[in-house]
Amino acid sequence: MTDKAIAARDVGRVYPSDSGDVHALRNVSFEVERGQFVALRGRSGSGKTTLLNCLGGLDNPTSGAILIQGTDIAAMEEVERTRWRRESIGFVFQQMGLLHSFSAYENLDVMARLGNVPRRDRPRRIFDTLERVGLRDYFDHRPYEMSGGQQQRIAIARALVTEPDLILADEPTSELDSDTTHEVLSVLQDFVRRKGLSILLSSHDPIADDYADRVINLVDGQINERAG
Ligand code: ADP
Ligand code: MG
pLDDT band at 227 (very low <50, low <70, confident <90, very high): very low
Q: What is the pLDDT of residue 16?
A: 92
Q: How far apart are CA 194 and CA 115, in angstroms?
A: 21
227 Cβ contact list (under 8 Å, min separation 6): 214, 215
Domain that holds residue 200: 36-48+79-223
Residue 207: inside a domain, yes or no? Answer: yes
User: In 3-state terms, the chain is what percent helix, strand and coil (to 5)?
Assistant: 40, 25, 35
- Whether 131 is in a domain gets the answer yes
Q: Is the pLDDT of residue 37 over 90?
A: yes
Name the pLDDT band for 225 (thresholds 50, 70, 90): low
Buried residues in 48-66 as b, exposed as e (16+ CB within 10 A)? bbbbbbbbbbeeebbebeb
Distance, CA of 25 to CA of 173 (rounded, Å): 23
Phi/psi of residue 196, nearest 5 degrees? 70, 20
Identify whether 74 is part of a domain: no
69 assigned to some structural domain: no
What percentage of residues in the chain have a pLDDT greater than 90? 76
Q: Is the pLDDT of residue 1 over 70?
A: no
Q: In the structure, what pLDDT confidence band is assigned to residue 2 with cuts at 50, 70 and 90?
A: low
The Å distance, Cα 215 to ligand 2 centre, comes to 17
- Is the CB–ligand 1 distance for residue 57 below 6 Å? no
Ligand lying closest to the C-alpha of residue 19: 1
Residue 21 within any structural domain of the chain? no
In a domain, 31, yes or no: no
For residue 89, list its beta bridge partners: 166
**CB of 216 closer than 8 Å to CB of 225:** yes
Alpha-carbon span 141 to 138, nearest angstrom:
5
User: Please, which pLDDT band fits residue 33 given cuts at 50, 70 and 90?
Assistant: very high
Model pLDDT for residues 165-175, shown as the tens digit of each residue: 999 999 998 88
Q: Which atom of ligand 1 is nearest to the CA of 42?
A: 3
For residue 143, give the CATH number of its domain: 3.40.50.300
> How does pLDDT run across 190-205, given as a tens digit for each residue?
888 888 899 999 998 8
Q: Is the CB of 15 under 6 A from ligand 1?
A: yes
Q: Is residue 182 part of a domain?
A: yes
Q: Is residue 150 part of a domain?
A: yes
Per the model's pLDDT, the better-predicted residue between 17 and 51 turns out to be: 51
Probe residue for ligand 1, chosen from 14, 15, 52, 200 as the CB with the greatest number of ligand atoms within 8 Å = 15
Distance 50 CA to ligand 2 centre (A): 7
C-beta atoms surrounding 1 within 10 Å = 6
Residues 96-144 pLDDT 10s:
789 999 999 999 999 999 999 999 999 999 999 999 889 999 999 999 9
Ligand 1 pocket test, candidate residues 19, 44, 49, 55, most atoms within 8 A of CB: 49
* The pLDDT value given to residue 205: 84
Q: Give the pLDDT mean for 62-72.
A: 94
Under a CB-based contact definition with an 8 Å cutoff, are residues 180 and 152 in contact? yes
- Percent of the chain clearing pLDDT 70 (strictly above): 97
What confidence score (pLDDT) does residue 129 get?
94
Sign of CA dihedral 191, 165, 180, 41: positive
Q: Say if pTM beats, i.e. exceeds, 0.85.
A: yes
Say yes or no: CB of residue 44 within 6 Å of ligand 1: yes
Report d(CA 43, CA 2) in Å as an integer: 33
Q: By CB neighbour count within 10 A (0-12 exposed, 13-18 middle, 19+ buried), where does 79 fall?
A: exposed
The domain tally of the chain equals 1
Taking the centre of ligand 1 as the mean of its atom positions, its distance from the CA of residue 196, in whole angstroms, is 31
